[in-house]
Amino acid sequence: MMPLRAEPAARAIAKPGEAVEIAPGVHWIGALDPTLRTFDIILRTANGTTYNAYMVRGTDGVAVIDTVKAEFADDFFARIESVARYDEIRIIVLNHLEPDHTGALPELMRRAPQAKLYISTRATAMLKALLKPKEDKAPLAFETVGTGDEVSLGDRTLRFLHTPFLHWPDTQCTYLVEEGVLFSGDVFGCHYCDTRLLNDRCGDFRFAFDYYYAHIMRPFKTHVMDALKLIEPLPLKIIAPTHGPILRDRPRRYITRYRELSTSSFTDQIGNEERSLIIFYMSAYGSTARMAEAICAGAEEQSGLRVSLYDLEGGETQPFVDLIESADALALGSPTINGDAVKPVWDLLSSLAVIDLKGKLGASFGSYGWTGEAVRMIEDRMRGLKMRVPVAGLRVKLIPTDEELEECRAFGRAIAGAISSGEKGRVIDFAELG
């Protein structure tokens, strides 16, 4: 399909060369990228994206908050020039240093050399890596800021919130106190390009909002919850993220949605005291399936452990990823075919980067005909994903006998035992972590 041209819609709010006022003295000066179909390799963008940057005017000068991707610098500078002179810019705030927001920074610094940069306390090394300042030149004029730090524009105050890992270590949010505007960086953003720009004017972007969260913020849920504690008490009129619509109509809905998306629904069902083991398998002739059932039976003997058993062949990968996110442990069974685990197993294992796997327990098992490499390969991958693999994998040659099925039950009991050994308060020996 030919991508759409950047044709202004009849109700366009964002027009070429014009900044858009979103609050008194606060302008959107970003850029539209409607033809983009893949962002950062990992994200599909069905109608492109926007690179949102903002300008705040106070009695004591102008602040620019974030910039745009390098290819869109001309749009950005044209919008700045429609509302300000470069010599008025005193402050440049960088909420996030990824190149889609800092591409126009070197040129902005050249045009507004008097401006001082404000970055988060964790962004210094990244800024230097980005700008590669030469030792014989003047040092970069920047200041690092943390939660509660403020910078004044005369009658306007920018207050900073330290929100690391949303979604890089350097990320922060900036709050314009007098207008209740939160410049949130990538938080509450989405890849959705619409010239109508405002959430109450543009098309239905709910899917894009959830999709962005699922791929960008989800691995950092704990940090999202920490950030929400800082954001929720703020009086808010507008949330102004760096991608997608500006959230001026009932902005608090989006904060509520982030809280929902960051809260595990599974713990509501099984209770915080219960632990969860998910067993997945693929089976060509039923042998690995029989192993899985016996492992399940063995693990179920452990009280306080909820065990679930799934045939990978019978489901899509995505819901299985959701199950694993809420689980304490994952056991994966695969036969060996041509010296490898089977493709659905690798599909599942390669889909786990979007969830936090740290500390989860992994185990592997499988029946094989003559070589049997799959089990060790799965264990290696689990270790690569930072999972603990405390119980050595279990292999059975061809059809399991009654004795071998008893070994499978013992394997299940050993996994269950390792799960419960991670309970709080107990001192764990390093060797047990596997």
Partner 1 sequence: MAKAKITFTDIDQTVNVPAGTRVIEVSEKIGAGLIYGCREGDCGTCMMHVEEGWNNLTEPSVLEEKVLRENMASRHDRLACQAQILGDCRVKPA
In the complex, the residues that contact partner 1 under the rule CB under 8 A are 121-122, 124-125, 128, 144, 146, 165, 169, 220, 222, 358-360, 386, 388, 422, 424-430, 433-434
Say if residues 248 and 298 touch (Cβ distance below 8 Å): no
The amino acid that residue 261 corresponds to is: L
- In the complex with partner 1, the residue whose CB is nearer, 2 or 427, is 427
Distance CA 176, CA 182 (A): 6
Q: What is the DSSP letter of 207?
A: H
> Could you tell me the CA-to-CA distances from 405 to 228, 290, 408, 412 in Å, in that order?
49, 8, 5, 11
Q: How far is the CB of 219 from partner 1 (least distance, A)?
A: 9
Q: How far is the CB of 123 from partner 1 (least distance, A)?
A: 9
DSSP states of 3-35: PPP-PPPTT-SS-TT--EEEETTEEE--EEETT
Q: How far is the CB of 339 from partner 1 (least distance, A)?
A: 29
- In the complex with partner 1, the residue whose CB is nearer, 233 or 384, is 384
- Of 349, 355, 343, give the one whose Cα is nearest residue 313: 343
Q: How far is the CB of 359 from partner 1 (least distance, A)?
A: 1
Say how many residues make up the chain: 434
- Of 259, 267, 85, give the one whose Cα is nearest residue 187: 259
Handedness of CA 349, 355, 357, 361 (dihedral sign): negative
CA 127 to chain centre: 21
- In the complex with partner 1, the residue whose CB is nearer, 337 or 385, is 385
Q: Return the structure tokens found at 243.
A: 């991608």
Q: How far is the CB of 168 from partner 1 (least distance, A)?
A: 9
- In the complex with partner 1, the residue whose CB is nearer, 321 or 433, is 433
- In the complex with partner 1, the residue whose CB is nearer, 137 or 426, is 426
Q: How far is the CB of 426 from partner 1 (least distance, A)?
A: 8
Q: How far is the CB of 119 from partner 1 (least distance, A)?
A: 11
Q: Categorise residue 419: left if φ over 0, alpha if ψ from -120 to 50, beta otherwise.
A: alpha
Give yes or no for a cis peptide into 167 (omega within 30° of 0): yes
CA 122 to chain centre: 18
- In the complex with partner 1, the residue whose CB is nearer, 156 or 223, is 223
Distance CA 244, CA 254 (A): 13
Say if residues 397 and 367 touch (Cβ distance below 8 Å): yes
- In the complex with partner 1, the residue whose CB is nearer, 8 or 146, is 146
Q: How far is the CB of 165 from partner 1 (least distance, A)?
A: 6
For residue 208, the surrounding DSSP H or E stretch is: helix 206-212
- In the complex with partner 1, the residue whose CB is nearer, 134 or 426, is 426
Q: How far is the CB of 158 from partner 1 (least distance, A)?
A: 19
- In the complex with partner 1, the residue whose CB is nearer, 177 or 385, is 385
